[in-house]
Chain A
Amino acid sequence: MLEVRNLRKEYGGLIAVKGVSFTLRPGDIFGFIGSNGAGKTTTIRMIATLLEPTSGTAILDGADIIRNPMEIRRMIGYMPDFFGLYEDIKVWEYLDLFAALYRVPANRRGHVVDNVLELTDLTVKKDAYVQSLSRGMQQRLCLAKCLVHDPKLLLLDEPASGLDPRARAELKELILELGRMGKIVIVSSHILPELSDFCNTVGIIERGELLAFGPVNQIVRDLRQARQLVVKTLNPDRSVEAFLSTRQGVQAIAPGTDGDVRIEFNGELEDQAELLAALVHEGYRVVGFREEQANLQDVFLELTTGAVN
């Protein structure tokens, strides 16, 4: 389990991270969302023991990043947003080096290297020089490097940046697989729709402050108490809006695009069904009736102002 407790980082007068706290359990895939300069990378680097927090701490399975940094390092895999690989060594040598750095016994290293190469689909490149790999493959190699010691926590800072759609899809599958293996995965990204696809928990950070944390659905629910319904009828006229405004639970009505009507509705699914039945009963020829789900991007835009430190 990872407990981040009131993590704070100051650079002179600048507060980069203001007391961030959250808890993650094995198998959690946590999407860390924020604009550039919001404090994501600083938070990740503090958890990775690369930056000393001004105050606060993080505890991974009982080990503290301040008191036991070496123990933490043995339990984490860190993939920075920008990284360089040693170009003058072969793929297997690179992984073998990191396996050795992470104290994987010499007699197991070959097996471990083969396993992570297979997991990251790089087996065919085992004997290739690192410099000959494409950007996507280098990204996968970096991820493979993070896995050689079977870490409990993976810190992936913008892992999908610069990848083509296919490589992104493969990376997503890989991260999901890692989550299924029981690892805690922290992923920071700007590509919100992708994050909501595979993260079971998200955190939205702005100006170093964690504005929201939890499962995507819960954050959406917390932000929007009322449901957003979209009703579309044949030959729409103003009478639909007038009729809807008289119904219980309807809080606000606004004409939408393409002749539909958008309703802010406070009620449960049963109430929605009754509203639809009433429309039909009243003689309106309903061709569309759906609840519009807020997505991560809506939530992000609603919660944040775009300000940076």
Chain B
Amino acid sequence: MKWNLEEAVWNNPMMIEVTRFRRRYLTLEKSNAANVLGLGMLVVVVVGAILLVLSTGGTVSPISLIYLQTALFCFTIPNAAHAAIAGEREKRSWDMLLVAPVSHAQIVAGKYLAVLVSIAVLASACGVCILFAGFTFPYTDWPKLLLAEIISITFAVLVASFTLFISARNRRAFTALGIVLGTLLLCIAILPAFWALLTSGMEAFTEIGFYLNPFFAISQVDRPYGSLRNGGPWVYGLPHAFLYLLLSVVLLQWASMTLTFADNEKRFLPQPQKDA
């Protein structure tokens, strides 16, 4: 699968996906009740967080808001992206797209950039709260804050890629959503909890097992530099961003190679029998 930047982005008709996404999730026009509710909740959360930061007089750490932002990404991005491809299969609009002279890479790029819009919107909304907290919190370390934000956003990019990948491999949007949320819960909460139990007393092992966990990485960034296990941004922060982005690229490439359709046919045929 060839990825040509001009074809995939600038000259890609699938960029209409960004318009569709914006219309579906970011406007009240032609939006359904659930989306309006989601958009409303986002506004309430952001305004509430700003008010909380202002009313507590500088006691809210901006890093704690980055944790909150990362958790928000884990729920909102799968919800926004799970139907990107599986939903098209479900609605039977997929065949018409596949029969057009457009490459799989262009389809994936269009769908993916639309999801990135949701990350940009969420990150901007949360960014306002984080900035408020950063300016009011007396111990704000701006480089560390930036590093934590980079981890959070690159993790969001990975979640978006993973959701699109799962969506590309499923025919039911709801199944895709379940798989993504389940996997995130397993990888971020359940497995680390078991790992922590298994390796209790062996802190180095615990840390290795937790290395790619974004919440753990952010917590390590927040530690004072110079501790034994903390080598600064080259151990916690930049490698995470690099690995998350690398995994994203792999998943997107895999997704574009997974846009199969022939298997849909089998569903409508009766059980195989010998030709008479």
Contact = CB atoms under 8 A, between A and B. Distances in A.
A45 interface: yes
Contact of B95 (A16, A78, A129, A307): A78
Contacts of A51: 262, 265
Interface in B90-137: 91-93, 95-102
Interface string A192-229: 00000000000000011000000000000000000000
B270 A84 contact: no
A101 B23 contact: no
A140 to B, nearest CB: 15
A18 B274 CA distance: 13
Chain B interface size, under 10 / 10 to 19 / 20 to 34 / 35 or more:
20 to 34
Contacts of A243: none
Contact of B13 (A78, A97, A145): A97
Contact of A84 (B16, B91, B98, B274): B91
A76 interface: yes
A80 B269 contact: no
A2 B32 CA distance: 45
Given A50-B261, A73-B100, A102-B100, A89 B91 contact: no
B95 A37 contact: no
Contacts of B14: 101
Given A88-B23, A101-B101, A309 B273 contact: yes
A12 interface: yes
Contact of B270 (A50, A208, A309): A309
A76 B99 contact: yes
Interface of A: 11-16, 18, 37, 41-42, 45, 48-52, 70, 73-74, 76, 78, 80, 82-86, 88-89, 93, 97-98, 100-103, 129, 131, 142, 145, 207-208, 307-309
Interface of B: 13-14, 16, 19-20, 23-24, 30, 88, 91-93, 95-102, 261-262, 265-266, 268-270, 272-276
